[in-house]
Structure formats: C-alpha cells, structure tokens
Structure 1
Amino acid sequence: MGKATGFMEYDRIPSPVRDPKKRTRDWNEYSLPMPEVDLQIQAARCMDCGVPFCHTGEEIKNGVSGCPLHNLIPEWNDAVYRGEWREALDLLLKTNNFPEFTGRVCPAPCEGSCTVAISEPAVGIKSIEKAIIDRAFEEGWIKPQAPLKRTDKRIAIIGSGPAGLACADQLNKAGHTVTVFEKSDRIGGLLMYGIPTMKLEKDSVNRRVNLMAEEGVEFVTNIEAGKDITMEQLQAEYDSVVLATGAGNARDVQLPGRDAKGIYFAMDYLTQSIKDILDNNGVQTMSAEGKNVIVIGGGDTGADCVATALRQGAKSIYQFGHRDKLPDARTIKNPWPQFPKVFQMDYAHNEARAVYGDDPRQYLVSTTEFIKNSRGELTGLRTIDVDDIDAERNIKPVPNSEKIWEADIVLIAVGFAGTTKSVFEDFQVAKTNRHTIDARKGFYRTNVEGVFACGDARYGQSLVVTAINEGREAAREVDFYLMGETFLP
C-alpha cells in the first residue's frame, strides 16, 4: 500500500454531512463532498493486510460479510492515496456498474469486514467510492461507450431497478439489443421511487439512465409486462427474458382496526412523496404536516419514513421496533468479519433528535390495535411492551405494559414477503417457499425456457449492491445461454 503504517497514524474521518436541523427544510442530499486531502488520509488507512476480507461478499449467519460485488477496494484505495484518480476509476468500474448509487445508499458491509475494524474504526471505504465516481462525472471522464458491434440477439428485461439496470448494462456491453420494460412512468425502480431524494437525488439516476440510452439500451415506461405486453409476445419478439421485478409484496400488519383511514404502506408513502417532489413542485399530497406519525418497523425503510415525515412538518414521530436496542460494540455472538450488529444513529434519527430533542425509536414495542373514531379515521395505537421476539417471530409480552399512543398517520415498514403474485401468474415461473422466483444462484434460469430471474425477485429483499451483483451474474448466464460462450466478468 502507499502508506503501510497509515492505519496506525491516522484516525477515521467521518463523511461530512449537512446540519441535521437545517437540511430538514429541503429535499436535497444530506451528504457533502469530502476534501481530497481527507480522502487521501482515509485511503492511507487501508492496511497491507495480506488477505483482505472487505471484498469477499460471503454470507455468514444470514448476513453479508464484505462487498457482494467483490470491489477491488485495496487497489483503488491505494490509487486514491497516490492521487491516481483515473486509475482508481478504472479499478472501481471493473466490478461496479453504478458506484454513484452504492456510494450513497449502501450500508457498506465492506467496512464491517475491514481488517482495520478488528480493533479500530474501519477504513472509510464508502466515502472514497462515492468520491471516485463523483469526480469522474465532474471531470467528464464518464462518456457513452456503445459496443463496437452488435449480435442478432434481442433481450427483454422486466423491471428497471438496480438488478435490471445492471443486467441491461452488461448485456448491452456484450453487443446484444436490450429493451428494459418498466411499469412506472420513470426508469429506476426503487432507485427512483423508493429511496428518498435526501439519500439519492434523482438527477443521479436520470444521468445514468440517459448514459445507458446513449449506449444503445432501449427503455420503455408505463408498460406492465405480462399484461400490456404478454409473455407470449415477449417470447415471440425476444430471444431471452429476464425478470427483475423486485420483491414488491409488502408485509402487512393484520390487527383490529387495520381498516382505519390514515394507515399506509411505507413504500406507497415514500413513492408518493418522491412523485410530488418531481411532478408537484414539492407539494406533498400524502402529507404528515401537523400530524402525529408512528412508523411500525425498525429498518432502513422505516428510517426513510421518519426523514420524509420530518420534512413534511410532522407534529411528532415515533418509530416502533420489536427488537431491543443494539449494543454499542460487537458481542461475542457477532464477531468480525460478520456485518456489525451495533447501535448506530441513521441520518433520519439524527435529524429527528435535532428537531424534537430525542431519538424517535422505541424498542421492544408491539402494536396490538389500531384505534379509530366514528368516522373510521385513525386516532391512535394500543401497544404492549415485549421482552423480545424469537426466530419464529413470536413475542413475549410484558404484563401490565399496555399503552395508548396518539396517532394520525401510521406507516407500515415491516419488510416484504417476496415477489408479487401477478409475476407468477403472468410468467408461469415456479416459486420458492419464500415466494420468490425459483432460479438457482449461479444459473439464474427459471423453469421456463429462455427466462431468467435476478435481484430481489429471485433473492428476496436485500441491498442495492446485492441486486447489482445479481444483475451482473444473470447477464453472464444469459450471454452464455444465447452465444454458447461468454466473456462477461
């Protein structure tokens, strides 16, 4: 490495962010660029560890350890330390089609398995990745690169989220003619309508989509494949079909009073908010202004709901979770290089604390009833405290812990239960017991000849970086299926 002793000499420098209270007044990204001198110091902390784990992408006890894309992290850290930014870009793009997305929204499992992180704060890998690609766009290094020659093969990709886009990008590079079908009015899937603008501004998504279009990928919006264009038509017009429809079957909370007005699925709420920012001058039509908001679900989507409700001017916000508060440091049951299950303040929770004076998260809380008035409008929640929840999702209530919370809006963010039922009906693909498309990893082939599946539709709800990797690997298998050989990585 450029600085073999850097990890002993330098401390980790946190990624700079905008003031938590001030940024809640707009919908712009909360992160700020890191000065180049700080980036080089961060890169210098990447130690010559011999066997780096940051890029392994292995699953350990149902958790990702290291980067699923197998990014060449030590190599591009070294290039940044030496000031060789073009070299760093070339190394980054060898494994990652969209580092401008992962550098913003990935939870960085690479940092959890960083060797420095055994005893010290990890190398700031995510901030370096973001800086490399942002600089590349600013300097004009990213230009359209259409394939030099085309094959006679046509491929339809259903879904334009990170898996579908990565698959399309790779197959286009191989010279195939690729058409991406998207049922929404904009390309990007959850990158467009799911991840809030304060984490990922949509100009970044549009910029990448426009670049791919210049390289020859065709995008078709407002078309629901399987209905507006049937499976028979797709098979007649295309040599192969890739299903990258995502895991859109949201889990519900079936409790007394569930029909009350004011209860929404998190993704419906987030999608409408983003649509209003893009099409309605920011005027929020599903607004939490002046209302008491409760988010059920302790994950990232729930945190995004907190941040969105804050910007809409909510009177109060609480986020409920079944689990106990995570420890401040790894426990013996969560050793390196597993993803660290430790307490963190997400961007949304920092904002809520700045505005309301406290972290909005409430731990070991289970909702038992939605309370509504005579007009059917939500007025509150009834909850109990729980000791914890086991692997079978059974809860152990605490006696005499019932409580009523005032609530005008409830946002359900308890995850997804696989692919929507219509996908299996429209495309006649087999499904697993997890309600995902049955297509074995490494092959990505479904039971239907010439039809492949990748991303959350096959894997289940996961990370953007995992979806990109799935798209890349599926592209290689499609290319091999069509050509009898493949040179895709």
Structure 2
Amino acid sequence: MGKPTGFMEYDRKLSKGLAPLERIKNFNEFHIPLSKEEQKIQGARCMDCGVPFCQSGVILNGMTSGCPLNNLVPEWNDLLYNGNMNQALKRLFKTNNFPEFTGRVCPAPCEPACTCNVATSPVSIKENELSIIENGYKSGFVTPQPPKVRTGKKVAVIGSGPSGLAAADQLNKRGHQVTVFERSDRIGGLLMYGIPNMKLEKDIIERRVEIMKEEGVTFITGADVGKNYKASDIKKEFDSVILACGASNPRDIKAPGREAKGIYFAVDFLKGVTKSLLDSDFNDNACVNTKGKNVVVIGGGDTGNDCVGTSIRQGAKSVLQIEMMPKPLENRTEDNPWPEWPKVLKTDYGQEEAIAVFGHDPRVYESTVKEFIADKDGNLTKVKIVKLCSKYNAEAKRFVMEEVPGSEYVVEADYVFIAAGFLGTEEYIAKAFNVELNARTNVATKEGNYQTSTEKVFVTGDMHRGQSLVVWAIREGREVAQEVDEHLMGYSNL
C-alpha cells in the first residue's frame, strides 16, 4: 500500500488537459503530466484495502471490473509513493508489456473497481502507471534486453496490434525467433491507425518497436497474409503461427441510400487521417477532409468519439453523433453497484470539444439512421433520422429498440462515419489458414485455449474474443505465448 491514511489526507488529482479550443489546433497529445512529487502523493492514496479489486480483472454483469492484466497496482503505487521508481517499473513489467500504451488509451476498469470509491474518489491508477513507465524511459531503465539463449524455434505472428506485439515480446524473451507480419505500412495495428494521434502519438509506438527490434524481433510490413503472402508458405517455414489480426470486419448500417458517396467506416476515416498526418503533415491531401462540412457520426463509443474529435480538428461545420441507446444517468443505480463498471454518462474529449466549438453536446440518444439521401450525382446531402424507444419483445424475451412512428427528421450531412463496432474476423484470413469460426465469426477454440482447428496455428486478441479492450488484448497475447511455448518446448516458464 501507499500511505495508510493517504486516501483521507489527499484528494484525487489528475493531469491537466489543454483547453478544448486550444488543443483542437493540432493533433498532439494534450495532457500535461503532474510533477513527480504530485504523482507520488497520488500513489499515497492507495489504501490498505485488504482485497484489491483494482487488479481482479473479472466479468461482473457482462462488464469488466478491475484490470484483466492483474496488474500489481497496490505494490507499484507503494513503490511510487516511496520514490523507488526502478522497482516500481519492474513490478509493472511483471504483468504488462506495454504500460506506455495502456497508460494512455485504456479505459481503466481498475479505477471504478478501486475500494476508495466506497467513500471517496478512486486512486489515479492509470496516470500513476503512465508516470512509472515514462520515468523509466527518461531515466534509462527501459533498455533492450535480448535473450541470452535461443531455442532454435521460429514463430510467426500475423498482425501487430497490442495482442500480437505482446505475444511476440513474450516469445522473443523466451528465446524463440519471432517474425511479425503486418499488412499496413507501419507496425501497431489499431494502436497505429485506429487510435488518433491526440490519444496516442505514434512515436510512442515506434519507440517500443525499436526496442523489440534490438531484442531480436523481426517485423515485416506490407505483408497481407492470404493475399500477397501465402499462408501455406508461412506454415512450412515456422514451427508455430499466431493469428492476431483483430476483429476487423466493421458492422454496416443497411439503410436505404447506403451507396451514396461520402459514407465511410470510422476505422477507414481515422486510418486515412493518421496516415496522411504521418506521411506528409496532411500536405498530400490523401484523407477525407471534413473542413466546412456537416458530419454525422453513427455510434456512441470511443471510436465514434474519436471521429468527433478528428472532425473538429479538421474544421467541420457541424458534428452530430447518433447513439441508439438511452442517455445514461449521471450516477450509479442500485442495480449497478461497486465494483461493477459504472453505467453512467461519460463526456469524452471529442464531445467536450464539440460543446466548446458548437455550444452543445453533439450526441442524440435513442436514435438511428432511417435513410441516406443523395443528390443527382450520388453525393450524400442529408440523413433521415428516426427516434427509438425500448419495448419488450415477447418472442425474443428481451427489450429491443423500436422506431417511434412519425418521429423522423432530416439533417444536413456531407459525410457519415459509421462507428457501430465490429463483427469479427475477416473471411479471407480465416480461409487462408483454414481455421473454423464460431457463431460470432471469431476464430473457434476450446474454452480457455488458443489452439485453432488447424495444427500449430493459434489465435489471440480480438480475433479470438471479439472487439474488446487493449488490456484484454495484451492479456491474451501473453496467454497465447505461454500456450505456444508449451507446444514448442513441452513446458513453459513464461
């Protein structure tokens, strides 16, 4: 623990973000970290709670509670408070390969599960974690550690998102020779192209990848396995293969007029913007530009919010975000008790910026798109929206969202970005390795295992469990590495 009475003596304090109207001027990260002394005080707030729910990583009522990585939160909070930063980093690396990623983009299910929530506000676990790893880089604690002995075994990892990188990192440390195949031109998967720069600047990813290269991991970009690389050749060359390609099949909106020009999947929009930023600082004009345009975002989650923040930075004329579900309450209800994930209203950075720019929250709830309307040239001009209400469906034996008759209205729209989630594995990669899919179109395995239906081919991350959190991806990457290691060596010390 930190200081026994710290949670009573000190208030929760977070890093300051630049004001919305200031930070939308560029695509840079915008949080200013606390000083080292201020962060130590935040470590002191970690109480001797006896049962640290923060590190439990369990599913309660269908939602994650606590850290799926089982991070040793009380231990490194105590070490942070006492100024033992090197030891804090070592404890952090025991469970988390990439705290510089999770400390920026994880939604931090550890914090709602913190016992301090019972009487006060939670420990700032996420920012404490980030301070430990960034101090580690600054102080020279984070250096390449290539394995001293090689096993002679070769492993291919297909996909370089957080799960694939975690698996590669673990197996390389074990002494196996690991090659990571990535179809994009840069390493990182959704970390690189699915998360905007203002949440995760890409030199943070490149910094980690360079260390992994120095440790002996081989990275091949532009390798679209199943298309320009044959899966059969990879299976012949490598002793084991790990599929870590994500749940990259986006859910579509099948409304009339869907063929109109100006409708994009959110992940394609975000990738184009980030790639143009990295390639030329937008000088190549290679991405969708919403400057002076009316934007409609379909989806109320993190990706939808990223589309809002990105559109505002480009100078959109208006931004509307459509959410099917009712507006959440501002406080927990009795049927959503601690330490469950709180189903409460969250106003994220993009919505904050929309409020600052346009004077109102961009979100409309209990709504969906009924029709996309185009001009004679096929260009999107308007979107017809209909209100929804929750009704009990006796046949389905559950509540469903149904249209409210006569509630349709039309809004101007030059661009629509669909951020309605993902359906599962892309078909061509599954066919390339001849792996079976389950009913949710994720790659099928036995419960608690990562071996696919194809010999020596394993699966991990979103491709295995469906769209999920970065911490679940890293956990699965670590677990599949252990299973592959046992497959190759007959035992594992990972």
Shorter chain as normaliser: what TM range?
over 0.9
Task: Tell me, yes or no, if structure 1 residue 79 matches structure 2 residue 79.
Answer: yes
Secondary structure, aligned partner of 1:382 = strand
Alignment correspondent of 2:451? 445
5 Å matches for 1:410-425? Answer: 410-425=416-431
5 Å matches for 1:16-165? Answer: 16-165=16-165
Q: Deviations over 1:12-47 (max 9, x none)?
A: 113321121111010101222111222122111111
Alignment correspondent of 1:180? 180
AA at the equivalent of 1:411: F
Equivalent residue for 1:305, pick from 304, 307, 315: 307
Equivalent residue for 2:403, pick from 389, 397, 419: 397
1:249–1:389 Cα change, 3 Å: farther
1:270–1:384 Cα change, 3 Å: same
Equivalent residue for 2:482, pick from 451, 465, 476: 476
Secondary structure, aligned partner of 1:109 = coil
Secondary structure, aligned partner of 2:54 = coil
Alignment correspondent of 2:265? 265
**Aligned-partner Cα distance in 1 for 2:257–2:172:** 50
**Aligned-partner Cα distance in 1 for 2:21–2:188:** 29
AA at the equivalent of 1:138: K
Q: Deviations over 1:386-424 (max 9, x none)?
A: 123779784222333211111110000000001111122
- Residue identity (%): 52
AA at the equivalent of 1:117: N
Secondary structure, aligned partner of 1:383 = strand
Q: Deviations over 1:120-176 (max 9, x none)?
A: 221100010111111111111110000001001000000000000000000000000
1:46–1:389 Cα change, 3 Å: farther
**Aligned-partner Cα distance in 1 for 2:338–2:92:** 25
Q: Is this contact kept in 2: 1:146–1:173, CA < 8 A?
A: yes
Secondary structure, aligned partner of 1:212 = helix
Q: Is this contact kept in 2: 1:322–1:388, CA < 8 A?
A: no
**Aligned-partner Cα distance in 2 for 1:461–1:98:** 19
Secondary structure, aligned partner of 1:68 = coil
Q: Deviations over 1:46-74 (max 9, x none)?
A: 11000111011111122111001000000
What is the Cα-based RMSD across aligned positions, in Å? Answer: 1.3
Q: CA deviation at 1:441?
A: 4.8
Counting matched residue pairs gives 488
> Which ranges in structure 2 are unaligned for 5 or more consecutive residues?
none
Secondary structure, aligned partner of 1:123 = coil
Q: Which moved more, 1:161-170 or 1:366-375?
A: 366-375
Secondary structure, aligned partner of 2:31 = coil
Q: TM-score, normalised by structure 1?
A: 0.98
Equivalent residue for 1:343, pick from 342, 345, 370: 345
**Aligned-partner Cα distance in 2 for 1:370–1:215:** 51
Q: CA deviation at 1:466?
A: 0.7
Secondary structure, aligned partner of 2:268 = helix
**Aligned-partner Cα distance in 1 for 2:148–2:167:** 19
AA at the equivalent of 2:50: G
**Aligned-partner Cα distance in 1 for 2:17–2:133:** 18
Q: Deviations over 1:420-452 (max 9, x none)?
A: 111221110011100000123532000111110
Alignment correspondent of 1:384? 386
Task: Tell me, yes or no, if structure 1 residue 324 matches structure 2 residue 330.
Answer: no
Q: Is this contact kept in 2: 1:323–1:389, CA < 8 A?
A: no
AA at the equivalent of 1:67: C
AA at the equivalent of 1:79: L
**Aligned-partner Cα distance in 2 for 1:275–1:131:** 28
5 Å matches for 1:226-241? Answer: 226-241=226-241
AA at the equivalent of 1:464: V
Q: CA deviation at 1:336?
A: 1.1
Alignment correspondent of 1:201? 201
Q: CA deviation at 1:318?
A: 0.8
AA at the equivalent of 2:150: R
AA at the equivalent of 1:290: G
Q: TM-score, normalised by structure 2?
A: 0.97
AA at the equivalent of 1:366: T
Alignment correspondent of 1:354? 356
Task: Tell me, yes or no, if structure 1 residue 428 matches structure 2 residue 434.
Answer: yes
